[in-house]
Structure 1
Amino acid sequence: MDTTKQSEPQEMLQMVRSIGSALRQLRKERKLSLDELADRTGVSKLTLGKIERGESNPSLCVIWRMTDGLGVPLSSLFAEESGVLVSRSGEGIQLTDGPWKIEPMFAESANGTVEIYRAYLDPHSEYSSEYHPTGLTETVTVLSGSVRVIVCDKPYELKAFDAVRFRGDHKHSYNNDTDEVAVLQISLERQP
């Protein structure tokens, strides 16, 4: 996973350390050993230890597995304390996987069951989702541009302000066949 804010390597290093610290805190709050978390997530104990120490930059797939195993939203690894939160495009944490970039809009939701992201898909590109926790509902709204969302091999053409909702743990991908970046808002809802 490339975590960028279009800035310095020092900020990325701080992000990796912050993710590791949050992971360690969440694991300890749940009274789990590294072995137990490895069993829950399918991520090796060695990798989890490196992430906790800030020595490894985890892929988006690994982050999903870790937060699923801990039963927390992905955005909980980026939580900040505040009463009022403003999310500005391009100013927060950005997670990049090839032509796909997502920004957690808010580090934590009111009830811990809904996560909201801004997503960007480069022109003439495709992104296939590798992993989502079981029981997750994904709602995608196109903010600008157009995309084809393919869920279980069925395509759905979406233009600005169109939306689609589906089970996030089903095979799905996003295609942008245009000359413009497609901007999406994605809400992920966990079943309590």
Structure 2
Amino acid sequence: MEKKSLSIQIGQRLRFYRQQRQLSLDDLASLTGVSKPMLGQIERGSSNPTVAILWKIAAGLQIPFGSFLVRNPSIKILREEEQPKFQEYNDLFEAHNTFASPGVPFETYRIRLLPGCTHLSSPIEGLKSITVHSGTLTIEISGESCTLQKGDAISFSPATNQVYQNLGDEVCECNQVIFYTIH
């Protein structure tokens, strides 16, 4: 999806969730820790928010991050080219959202880490489950490091920062499921 149309879509989804909850921009700023002017720019589609900003907004609204990326939540089949995705770290990290639906407290991702990739994931309330399908994933959670090979899985509370690394020579592919704590 083109960057400008993605920004417009994110803005429309943000406005929908804010209005659905009958929140002003000031209320939303208080909930999320994102400034009112930035939220206004995002809603108008005039700002391309970072992944970190979107995570803060999603956490404040208690919705899955992928809710901003899904055009029609009733879609059952998502072809690879239709899956919302984001890339970071000079395209060494790539995440495809394979399921997110408003009102459902979990979402799934297909993740690729190219050799040499280090990805920092911010804390959220809930539970993460990761299954490695190829390559090797080294993950550090609360200072504890573990290495997962093909077929290995891990689940944990992501209440602190996590560091994901591909220290190997081949692409690491894994699936991630995030279950959000609803208050």
Return the TM-score normalized by structure 2. 0.91
How far is 1:191 from its partner?
2.3
Matched AA of 2:105: T
> Match of 1:8?
none
Q: Number of aligned pairs?
A: 180
How far is 1:83 from its partner?
4.9
Match of 2:112 among 104, 111, 120: 120
> Match of 2:3?
12
Q: Does 1:188 align with 2:181?
A: no
How far is 1:107 from its partner?
3.3
Q: Distance in 2 between matches of 1:147 and 1:120?
A: 10
Q: What is the Cα-based RMSD across aligned positions, in Å?
A: 1.7
1:40-55 pair list within 5 angstroms: 40-55=31-46
Matched AA of 1:120: R
> Match of 1:168?
158
Matched AA of 1:137: L
Q: Distance in 2 between matches of 1:91 and 1:145?
A: 25
In 2 relative to 1, CA 143–88 (structure 1 residues): closer, same or farther, beyond 3 Å?
farther
Which stretch shows the higher mean deviation, 17-26 or 69-78?
Answer: 69-78
How far is 1:57 from its partner?
0.8
Q: Distance in 2 between matches of 1:82 and 1:40?
A: 24
Q: Distance in 1 between matches of 2:21 and 2:149?
A: 43
Matched AA of 1:174: Y
How far is 1:113 from its partner?
1.0
Matched AA of 2:173: V
Gaps of 5+ in 1: 6-10
In 2 relative to 1, CA 183–90 (structure 1 residues): closer, same or farther, beyond 3 Å?
farther
How far is 1:154 from its partner?
1.0
> Match of 2:168?
178
Return the TM-score normalized by structure 1. 0.87
Q: Can you list the C-alpha shifts for 1:137-184, whole angstroms capped at 9, x where unaligned? A: 111111111111111111111011111111112221111111222111
Q: Distance in 2 between matches of 1:122 and 1:48?
A: 33
Q: Can you list the C-alpha shifts for 1:100-119, whole angstroms capped at 9, x where unaligned? A: 2211102317x611110011
Match of 2:28 among 33, 37, 40: 37
Percent of paired sites with the same residue: 31
SS of 2:127's equivalent in the other structure is strand
Q: Does 1:57 align with 2:67?
A: no
How far is 1:30 from its partner?
0.4
C-alpha contact 1:115 1:188 (8 A) present in aligned 2: yes
SS of 1:21's equivalent in the other structure is helix
